């Protein structure tokens, strides 16, 4: 029954895509959502209030001429917002969708847990659907004894490698770029082929990805971490609920623009949070905080008020 409902969600997304003239991601082009979330982090990093500033100070560096050209062509609104001052840009983004502050929470929560895991002896960091994630380049001191595996669609990854070469001159020796299509390839095989070791404590980052991939790929990823990673390994991710995906607010709002760019949200966790699903896939849940809790922790401004809304996030470990 649940599978049928999820299938129909994908079918609805497909039909809607046709109805509004949507298309699949152009072959050879980078994921547009990867570029637009990096652009929002770059804007967030300009916030005057240090408590509400996005810590991704390198996001701006990724927005070189290549990225700006793609954004100007395929997402002119964010392109204009990048040229506005901070307050105007945030007002404009919030009028369109409501993920700006959820992105800030994501960056802060994942940064915090990454540092904790490295302090606790994680030797590998696997960034699943890495997009323009800058952590391998922002946390060079903390990562000096760790290997980072950036896993992503080949076109997004090739694009990113050029960006990194552009601002660092070369690709760091401790970062392995691992091309994959999660919906077609086996994560264990692909990671092993890139030299990732199942006997080394690993921190998995799965940021802004679970909603874009089919349920089979979500299940395989959770099971892989539960059964093929070293004890003490952890995974952190943000997620959507199936009920939110079906809500008119999402279906008539952000989902329409995602379909138009060929990157619809197709997976949401059943029930009221991810906990049960994650437990069923063999992991221990360390945290699955409610959005209000995340907002109270990560969205408090210097004057004490809480800005914006958080999304849903989960931190789990291999038993």
**Could you list the residues that contact ligand SAM (CB under 6 A)?**
31, 33-34, 37-38, 129-133, 152-153, 156, 180-183, 207-209, 212-213
Q: List the one residue out of 135, 134, 154 whose CA is nearest residue 31.
A: 154
- Nearer of residues 308 and 311 to ligand SAM, judged by Cβ: 311
Q: What is the 3-state secondary structure (H, E, C) of 83-108?
A: CCCHHHHHHHHHHHCCCHHHHHHHHH
- Nearer of residues 74 and 232 to ligand SAM, judged by Cβ: 74
Distance CA 66, CA 152 (A): 19
The least CB distance from residue 3 to ligand SAM, in Å, is 19
Q: Which residue's CB comes closest to ligand SAM?
A: 131
The least CB distance from residue 277 to ligand SAM, in Å, is 19
Q: List the one residue out of 153, 164, 160 whose CA is nearest residue 262.
A: 153
- Nearer of residues 121 and 188 to ligand SAM, judged by Cβ: 188
The least CB distance from residue 183 to ligand SAM, in Å, is 4
- Nearer of residues 66 and 276 to ligand SAM, judged by Cβ: 66
Q: Would you state the torsion angle of the CA atoms of residues 248, 77, 34, 166, taken in this order, to the nearest 10 degrees?
A: 180
- Nearer of residues 254 and 285 to ligand SAM, judged by Cβ: 254
The least CB distance from residue 1 to ligand SAM, in Å, is 26
The DSSP bridge pattern shows strands 312-317 and 202-206 to be: unpaired
Distance CA 93, CA 88 (A): 9
The DSSP bridge pattern shows strands 284-287 and 312-317 to be: antiparallel
- Helix (H) / strand (E) element for 35: namely helix 32-44
The least CB distance from residue 283 to ligand SAM, in Å, is 20
Classified as helix, coil or strand, 99 is: coil
The least CB distance from residue 209 to ligand SAM, in Å, is 4
Question: Angle, to 10 degrees, between the axis of helix 100-119 and the axis of helix 86-96?
Answer: 100
- Nearer of residues 107 and 229 to ligand SAM, judged by Cβ: 107
The least CB distance from residue 133 to ligand SAM, in Å, is 5
**E strand map for 209-272:** 234-239
Q: Which residues pair with 181 in a beta bridge?
A: none
- Nearer of residues 146 and 240 to ligand SAM, judged by Cβ: 240
The least CB distance from residue 36 to ligand SAM, in Å, is 8
Contact 174, 146 (CB under 8 A): yes
Distance CA 49, CA 113 (A): 22
- Helix (H) / strand (E) element for 69: namely helix 65-74
Distance CA 200, CA 220 (A): 20
Classified as helix, coil or strand, 57 is: coil
- Nearer of residues 53 and 301 to ligand SAM, judged by Cβ: 53
């Amino acid at each position: 029954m649940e599978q049928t409902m999820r299938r129909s969600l994908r079918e609805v997304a497909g039909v809607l895509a046709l109805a509004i003239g949507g298309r699949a991601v152009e072959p050879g082009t980078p994921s547009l959502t990867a570029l637009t979330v990096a652009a929002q982090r770059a804007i967030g990093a300009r916030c005057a209030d240090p408590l509400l500033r996005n810590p991704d100070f390198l996001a701006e560096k990724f927005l070189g001429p290549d990225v700006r050209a793609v954004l100007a062509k395929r997402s002119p609104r964010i392109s204009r917002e990048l040229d506005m001052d901070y307050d105007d840009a945030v007002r404009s983004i919030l009028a369109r969708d409501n993920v700006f502050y959820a992105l800030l929470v994501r960056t802060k929560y994942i940064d915090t847990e990454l540092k904790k895991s490295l302090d606790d002896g994680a030797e590998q960091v696997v960034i699943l659907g890495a997009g323009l994630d800058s952590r391998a380049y922002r946390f060079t001191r903390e990562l000096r004894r760790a290997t980072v595996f950036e896993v992503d669609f080949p076109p997004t990854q090739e694009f990113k490698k050029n960006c990194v070469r552009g601002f660092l001159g070369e690709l760091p020796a401790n970062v392995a770029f691992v091309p994959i299509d999660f919906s077609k390839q086996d994560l264990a095989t692909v990671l092993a082929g890139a030299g990732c070791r199942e006997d080394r404590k690993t921190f998995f980052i799965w940021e802004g990805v679970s909603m874009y991939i089919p349920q089979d790929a979500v299940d395989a990823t959770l099971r892989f971490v539960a059964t093929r990673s070293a004890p003490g390994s952890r995974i952190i991710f943000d997620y959507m609920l199936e009920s939110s995906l079906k809500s008119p607010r999402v279906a008539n709002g952000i989902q329409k623009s995602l379909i138009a760019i060929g990157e619809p949200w197709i997976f949401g966790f059943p029930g009221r949070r991810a906990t049960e699903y994650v437990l069923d896939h063999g992991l221990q849940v360390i945290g699955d905080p409610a959005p209000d809790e995340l907002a109270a922790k990560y969205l408090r401004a210097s004057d004490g008020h809480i800005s914006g809304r958080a999304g849903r996030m989960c931190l789990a470990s291999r038993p």
